Structure 1
Amino acid sequence: MTAPVTVGVSLKTYFGNARARAWFAEVAPRLQAHPGIADGRVRFFVIPTYLQIPAAIEAFAETPVLVGAQDVSAHPPGAFTGEITAAELAEVGVQVAEIGHAERRRLFGETDEVTASKAAASLEHGITPVLCIGEDARMSGADAASANLDQLAADLEGVPAGPVVVAYEPVWAIGATEPAPDDHIATVTRALRGAIDADAGRAGSVVIYGGSAGPGLLARLDGAADGLFLGRFAHDPDNLLAVIDEAAALADARSAS
């Protein structure tokens, strides 16, 4: 079987606890019944707030859905007030962790060095990093590919072997009305996948696209990305299931090729 198509959703802090629980309750049975999820053609992860993680784990317990965290401490357990360690996240069942998002970099000053430390902490506890990278300003596809390859190398500097989900999110496309142009995305994601595939320590890694991603994009990218990272579009479960349908169709096409 070929590698599954990966679809993820980060809820950021748009939902309060009650709203998140309602979303989990609506989405979980629909994903459980979806053949693409059930047979493994589509790998799906959801990343709620820290306080919503236990409810998400409970809601998706009978499904293959992975539950993640929106951040993780670079530090081990100890005197680090306010931090949430990878050890504790793994203990409660978290399987992926979003690291290096543009908002963490811009609002909280997180550097590539910090991002690498968080990726290392995650992998050391069996948590797969969802490593967010992307250029700040519009530029050519070739220049963007070069910039993102440099960022990828910096964010994985000293990080132990293990699979990662590389989430390419050009900063200028996050929250925009449209995603980046298809040819731009394809140029960057193919370059990133080439770099990841060349690293023997990153077997099982994938490259997905985020940044105003929505329906139709996976088909237009024609296999240049291994999946999508969704935001507010997925707040409507119908929209989310439409993308899951497209992901299953892409998985079928990849198997047939």
Structure 2
Amino acid sequence: MPPLPRPRRIVGVSLKMYFDLQSTLSYVRGVLQLDGDAWNARVDLFVIPDFVTLMESARILEPSSVMLGAQDTFWEDKGAYTGEVSPLVLRQAGARIVEIGHAERRAMFGETDEWVAKKAGAAARNGLIPLVCIGERTHHSVASAAVGMAIEECKPQVTSVLAAVPDDVEVILAYEPVWAIGAAEPADPDHVVNVTKELRKLAAGRTGTTRIVYGGSAGPGTFAKIVEGVDGLFLGRFAHDIHKLQKVIQEVGGA
């Protein structure tokens, strides 16, 4: 049986909490200017600002093909959940993607696989694409052992999410080894390819699209080394410079 065709490539960037209000909107306008470039034919692009600027960002990006994302959501649509953000409201505000389960939220706010799965289900229920961050916390110095340990740690993160969302909805898995986030270099390409190939097998048989992106100190040159395992990149601070973001998009579109 021939291998299934790979999904369309995708690049995204999260602004976390680095920018103030005006800087965020200026950045989103810069992303808008990238729309229509030659990469459009091969690559989807998304940007994830903070909650406060979400509606204005949606207005800015409305005429473009750039997808807007949110940095988190709650697992209920309505109710007495002070401080939480409804997935229903996120969809109404113009978001199309919602980032869930980032390593920072797991570490700082105690998010569990169960919580992440419930949030993914709520996102899908409201027509949002769950972008679920997964990754192992520790890195073994022996390459073969490192891959096995990564798969063992990541597998329950993936299976719990896939069990919580309908089989026919799109899901994006962001493989981000925790030890590679903020590091000087991304994870070893062979490690990324070997782990993501195994993670892709967990989604085999789904009727909805499952895309896998890599995050963790990604930048120029990263995608070409790991294209065998992933469908794109999820960028952080490196891409907060629009020109650097553009360079990565061009690389992903041309690799």
Superposed pair shares fold, TM > 0.5: yes
- Matching residue's letter, 1:35: A
- Matching residue's letter, 1:141: V
Decide whether the 8 Å contact of 2:121 with 2:161 is kept in 1.
Answer: no
Equivalent residue pairs, number? 245
1:173 Cα shift? 0.5
Residue 173 of structure 2 aligns to a residue in which SS? strand
**5+ long unaligned stretches in structure 1:** 251-257
- Matching residue's letter, 1:232: R
Matching residue within 154, 160, 163 for 1:154: 160
1:2 Cα shift? 6.1
Residue 95 of structure 2 aligns to a residue in which SS? coil
Matching residue within 7, 10, 15 for 1:6: 10
Pair 1:53 & 2:38 matched: no
Give the TM-score of the pair, scaled to structure 2: 0.92
Pair 1:74 & 2:75 matched: yes
> Could you tell me how far apart the structure 2 residues matched to 1:220 and 1:36 are?
19
Query: Aligned runs of 1:1-257 on 2, under 5 Å?
Result: 3-29=7-33, 31-37=34-40, 39=41, 41-139=42-140, 140-161=146-167, 162-196=169-203, 198-201=204-207, 203-250=208-255
> Could you tell me how far apart the structure 1 residues matched to 2:231 and 2:130 are?
16
What is the percentage of aligned positions where both structures have the same residue? Answer: 42
> Could you tell me how far apart the structure 1 residues matched to 2:166 and 2:31 are?
34
> Could you tell me how far apart the structure 2 residues matched to 1:187 and 1:2 are?
16
Decide whether the 8 Å contact of 2:6 with 2:231 is kept in 1.
Answer: no
Decide whether the 8 Å contact of 1:142 with 1:187 is kept in 2.
Answer: no
Give the TM-score of the pair, scaled to structure 1: 0.91
**5+ long unaligned stretches in structure 2:** 141-145
Decide whether the 8 Å contact of 1:32 with 1:62 is kept in 2.
Answer: no
> Could you tell me how far apart the structure 2 residues matched to 1:222 and 1:77 are?
40
1:24 Cα shift? 1.5
